[in-house]
Amino acid sequence: MYLKDILLENVASIDFLDVTLPFNDDGTPQPIIIVGVNGSGKSIFLSYIADALVEFAKTAYRDIVPGHSPIGIGSPYFKISGGINQKIGSQFSIGLLKFIANEKTFCYCDHSGNVDHTFYIDKIKNRFQTILSSDINRNEKIIGPKDKQFFETCFYQNVFCYFPPNRNEFPHWLNRQGINQSLSFKLDQKFNGILNKPIYIDSSLEENKAWILDVFLDSMIDFEAIINQDNRITNFELLSNQINHKLILKKSRENVEKILQSIFQDNSIKLAVNYRNDSHSRLCLTKQGKIFIPSLDNLSSGQSILFNLFATIIRYADKADINKSIQLGQIEGIVIIDEIDVHLHSDLQYEILQKLIKLFPKVQFIVTTHSPLFILGMEKEYEGKGFTIIEMQKGETITTERFSEFKNSFDYYKKTKAFEDEVKSIVDNYNPSNVNSNNNLLQASIWTEGKTDIKHLKAALRWLKEKGETYNVEVDFHEYRDPCSSQLLEMCKQFCKNKQDIPIIAIFDRDEPNIMKNIHDDSQGFKDWENGVYSFALPIPKHRENKEICIEHYYRDSEIQTIDNDKRRLFLSDEFHPKSGKHL
């Protein structure tokens, strides 16, 4: 079962949003990343999804919400409903969700105040008819259809988790008197109506330790001693009838180890078992065969939270079918993570989270984040496709480049000494004597802001020379690492402080008004910074009406859209939706 549609109106800070979640061509769900400033409604968005899952599960199980009576008397809500969630000044609030499972559809509605059903006909687009009626005029939660048999099977066989932003694991140094820390076998007895897989998970280390020990012991191969006539052990023999079975079960253990190896970025990390009288937990980690961490309790807070998050996904799937812990690609469900980057170092945000998500292609991850590093890592790992970014409060789909935290973070970075030092290093290392000199020619050093701008300029100069054009100038095209407009502007400010033996010309794109006003003088077509430093914005070619151009706009549209030998091409901005960033 996956979430397909969510519509929220007059909920907390959200006026209105209507989002349809995308799926890949093979039917697998795309990871959904919810972004936005604090107070924009990211957690509220997730709370409706989590609450819908709870309400569905409660139709078949009695242990979903604390306080839910084991004999079926009383059914507390997971999320509080009513006017507390209603936007101030509004007459009503409503949340509508649609889930799909093969050919079946299941809907959820949470509303308060008076809602005119006829007014909602156009908005719902025939998506929530199983629960909407003309008498939505009171505070109420509705789900439908209430298919107990389906939900019993669905929640037992699949994974449905909500990890809140306040998730934590106890550190090993904390004295937890009165809490049983001993690790024993987890013998879950199956009772009718008891799922024993909480949807709300703020901590799961203890449960995971017990389960991992079970997994470890299942994977161990037994030996039988061969004893001679003198009652001495001469050799050992594998119990052949269990070897293949144990090797298959070992894959579950290796999948758990794969998570740890990703977190530590070391493929030699393995699980091992301490002796039963060891003061630490039975489970430890080894590195290159030697004990590396004495127990899973000794993981750092960030490592522990990240490990237990993904270990829980495997444990929940393993409960119904051991084969799913062996083949992670077969695990299905919905995993909701509020602030996925919480407690995590930059390398875990940029390099590791994405790889762990990718281990579960059939799980629908719906997460929130403030981290530009996590988004950049998703862009790299998924090669720019196969995941979706939704910006709150309106629920618009955006591209990676439109994520506002990028610009904010970079603006702060530009104010740091590290940025100033990097610019200074480039300026200090610039040696004009490296330019090939010819006393009969004028000389100039060209600097640009884009990685490809230099290549275009070099190609243009070669073409002109092939046509017989000659110029009394010798040009050095200077290439440097990770250029950007702000960095190039700062270089102009630094270079002009000293007299330059060879003139420096900085060429900027024309697509950033704030940069344009600092680098261009319309009265003379360029800016003279003095001391031999000049800058200008690209002149507008005759075939372009739009003034905000970059160097690629010097080509005509037909040339830009030409497919190369590798079946690649450039795209124009008007080929994308101005708000969502999706290709039209």
pLDDT given at position 287: 92
Instruction: Give kind and range of the element (H or E) at residue 511.
Output: none
The DSSP call for residue 249 is H
For the chain, helix, strand, coil in percent to 5 are 35, 20, 45
pLDDT at 426: 60
State mean pLDDT over 72-84: 66
pLDDT digit string (tens) for 30-59? 999 999 988 889 999 999 999 999 999 998
Task: Give the per-residue pLDDT at 258.
Answer: 94
Higher pLDDT, residue 26 or 572: 26
Q: Mean pLDDT, to the nearest integer, of 283-300?
A: 88
Look at 20-29, 41-50, 180-189, 441-450 and tell me which has the smallest mean pLDDT: 180-189
Q: What was the pLDDT predicted at 134?
A: 47
User: What pLDDT score was predicted for residue 138?
Assistant: 62
* pLDDT grade for 98, boundaries at 50, 70 and 90: very high
Q: Give the pLDDT mean for 245-262.
A: 87
What lies within 8 Å, CB to CB, of 407 at 6+ separation is none
Mean pLDDT of the chain: 81
User: In the prediction, which pLDDT does 311 show?
Assistant: 94
Q: Which of 68-72, 114-118, 152-156 has the highest mean pLDDT?
A: 152-156
| Cα–Cα distance for residue pair 556/549, rounded to 1 Å | 12
Model confidence at 182: pLDDT above 50: no
Look up residue 242 and give its two tokens: 């269990």
**DSSP class of 269:** E
Residues in the chain: 584
Residue 331 pLDDT level (bands cut at 50, 70, 90): very high
CB 374 within 8 A of CB 397: no
Residue ranges and CATH numbers for the domains of the chain are 2-158+332-409 (3.40.50), 205-301 (no CATH), 423-539 (3.40.50)
pLDDT of residue 202: 87
Residues 150-158 have a mean pLDDT of 94
pLDDT, tens digit, 9 for 90 and up, residues 359-413: 999 999 999 999 888 998 998 898 878 899 999 988 888 877 667 666 666 666 6
pLDDT digits (tens, 9 = 90+) for 2-24: 999 999 998 888 999 999 999 99
Q: What angle do CA 579, 484, 412 make, to 5 degrees?
A: 80
| pLDDT above 50 for 516 | yes
Give the separation between CA 406 and CA 575, rounded to whole angstroms.
23
pLDDT value at residue 429: 61
Cβ atoms of residues 396 and 581 within 8 Å? no
Checking if the pLDDT of 480 tops 70, the result is no
| Residue 203 confidence (pLDDT) | 87
What pLDDT, on the 0 to 100 scale, is given for residue 301? 87
Q: Residue 334: which pLDDT band, with cuts at 50, 70 and 90?
A: very high
pLDDT above 50 for 353: yes
Burial of 105 (0-12, 13-18, 19+ CB in 10 A): middle
**C-alpha to C-alpha distance for 143 and 107, rounded to whole angstroms:** 6
Question: Do 405 and 370 meet the contact criterion of CB atoms below 8 Å apart?
Answer: yes
Lowest-confidence segment of 61-65, 221-225, 343-347 by average pLDDT: 221-225
**What number is the average pLDDT over the span 521-527?**
84
Tell me: pLDDT of 302 over 70: yes
Give pLDDT, residue 114.
Answer: 75
Give the residue-averaged pLDDT of 245-256. 83
State residue 204's pLDDT score: 87
* Model pTM score: 0.70
pLDDT bin (cut points 50, 70, 90) of residue 180 is very low
| pLDDT value, residue 482 | 57
